[in-house]
Structures are given as C-alpha cells and as structure tokens.
Amino acid sequence: MIWPLMIAAIAVAAPVAKPLQGNGYPTEVSADYVLGCMAANGQTQDMLRRCACSIDTIAAVVPFETYEQAETILRMRQATGQAASLFRETPALKDVVDRLRAAQVEADFRCF
C-alpha cells in the first residue's frame, strides 16, 4: 500500500519536463530558435523582436509536433549513408519539411 503513495508523491514533486508557451511550443524550443535566429541575423533588440515574431508565426502555422518532426528530419538529412538518404528521398518526409519551410517563408514575410 505504500508504493502507490510513493509514486504519487514523486509524480507531484517532479517538475514538468517541457513547460509550454501559449502557442504550444516548449519555452526552451522557442528560446533556442530565437537565439539561433539572432546569432545569424544580429544581436540587437530589433532582431530579438523580429526573431520572436518569427517563431510565433511559425507556431501559428505549424503545430509543435510537425515542427519537431521537420527539425529531426533536417538533422537526419545531414548524416551520410543509406539511412540518411531515406530522410532526403521519402515523399512523406519531404512534405513535413515543406510545411515547415512554408511557415518559415510566412514568418520572413511578416517579421522581416
């Protein structure tokens, strides 16, 4: 009988692994995007606003699950070998990446 109480106590005490923003994207994912965007475009207050706008626009167009899948596919495409070629050649995976690319174009249009 003590095990269920211990499990419940651990569950209550455990921090939430991925706190979500109002847009459904984990805060650390949005922050990572903004930091990368600023590294590529400049470390200014204006660029902070534009990069934050960009991830917010992407989040409005693409659900987090699709964003996460596309990011994974893009990372896997950078590998070498036959397994990596599956990530470059599979039509369904291309469609996922295309959805993210379209959202990025929309974000560029709105924010930059």
Q: Per-domain residue ranges for the chain?
A: 17-111
Q: Which residue ranges of the chain lie beneath pLDDT 70?
A: 1-21
Q: Which amino acid is at 107?
A: A
pTM above 0.85, yes or no: no
Whether 54 and 23 have beta carbons less than 8 Å apart is answered as no
Q: Is the dihedral of CA 49, 111, 38, 87 positive or negative?
A: positive
Please, what is the Cα angle at 62 between 58 and 63, to 5 degrees? 120
Structure tokens at 53: 């706008």
